[in-house]
Homo-oligomer: A and B are copies of this chain.
């Protein structure tokens, strides 16, 4: 139907998560969706484009919404940090197959585009962690930030793997608290001057993503706030599902290299039909589609 594209993405994720990129053929994917191979190629010019689209589609779903929702409250820093992890883990549970694929590092050889995507993703993870550390401990934590961030991301990633492979469901909330608790212990030890930092800026340069280098990146904080406000309103509605579908589509479109402005405008129009959303939708629209003089 209308979302055959999505069906293809979903089937492809399942198969690639299970068998890996090279051992999943386009024919298999086509058979799984129930369309012909030719159709696949009318949606995705090549297998590589298909996997890139998968990453674009799901990275969004899992990470960005989690970032956004995580910020969506006025909790004190410690609890907010834990909540953010929780939301991440919830997203991971929801999109297990994608995360499996992601963790297995499945990809077409060395696609430039994909590498860029991963690099930006990792950079965002670190920026996000840094922001939280500063919120929690102030600037005095900065000399130890790399060690803390490195250990945090490694613990985070490994629990993620555990969630994905485990039969038992690990409770996301408890896990979020647990991780923050451990970081806190390590951070306080550093602050008390008991441990010496091991990593420094120089060494970690490859993991830094300049906030200013990438336009899309610079405005991310503002965009995040706008998303945050909108989602909050939608949550309060009865037919939230419908509006989430619309925002998902907006989100998807805005990720494309050349988003279709008319499509975006149209989607925002749909949101504005619900008057309680109109204001917030407008703010987000401004963020994503700045006025013509750009």
A189 contacts across to B, CB distance below 8 A: 185
State which of B104, B157, B181, B196 has its C-beta within 8 Å of the C-beta of A154.
Answer: B157
5 A-B pairs closest in CB distance: A154-B158, A22-B22, A178-B198, A154-B154, A185-B189
Distance between Cα atoms of A239 and B185 in the complex (Å): 48
B contact residues around A22 at 8 Å (CB): 22-23
A111 contacts the other chain (Cβ, under 8 Å)?
Answer: no
Q: Identify whether the interface residues of A are mostly helix, strand, loop, or mixed.
A: helix
| Interface status of A166 (Cβ within 8 A of chain B) | yes
Most buried by B among A104, A150, A157, A158: A158
- Taken residue by residue from 168 to 205, chain A's Cβ proximity to chain B (1 for < 8 Å, 0 otherwise) reads as 10100011001001100110010000111010001100
13 chain-A/chain-B pairs, Cβ below 8 angstroms:
A20-B109, A104-B105, A105-B105, A147-B178, A150-B158, A154-B155, A154-B158, A154-B159, A165-B206, A175-B198, A178-B198, A185-B189, A186-B186
Given contacts A155-B151, A166-B203, contact A198 B186 (CB under 8 A): no
Whether the Cβ atoms of B198 and A174 lie closer than 8 Å is yes
Interchain CA distance A162-B196 in the complex, whole Å: 18
**Minimal beta-carbon separation of A90 from chain B (angstroms):** 17
How far in angstroms is the closest Cβ of chain B from A80?
Answer: 20
Interface size on A, as a range, is: 35 or more
Query: Chain B residue with minimal CB distance to A21?
Result: B22
A165 to B, closest residue via Cβ: B206
* Residue numbers in B under 8 Å from A19 (CB-CB): 109
Q: Which residues of B contact A168 (CB under 8 A)?
A: 202-203
Q: Is A241 part of the contact surface with B, judged by Cβ < 8 Å?
A: no
Confirm or deny: A153 has a beta carbon within 8 angstroms of a beta carbon on chain B. yes
Which residues from 7 to 28 on chain A have a C-beta closer than 8 Å to any C-beta of chain B?
19-20, 22-23
Bound together, the chains give a CA A154 to CA B161 distance in angstroms of: 10
Question: Closest approach, in angstroms, between the C-beta of A111 and any C-beta of chain B?
Answer: 13
Mark out the residues of chain A between 191 and 249 whose CB falls within 8 Å of any chain B CB in the assembled complex: 194-196, 198, 202-203, 206
Closest B-chain residue to A148, C-beta based?
Answer: B182
A125-162 to B contact mask, C-beta < 8 Å, 1/0 = 00000000000000000000001001101110111001
- Kindly report which residue of chain B lies nearest to residue A104, judged by CB atoms: B105
A101 CB, nearest partner CB in chain B, Å: 12
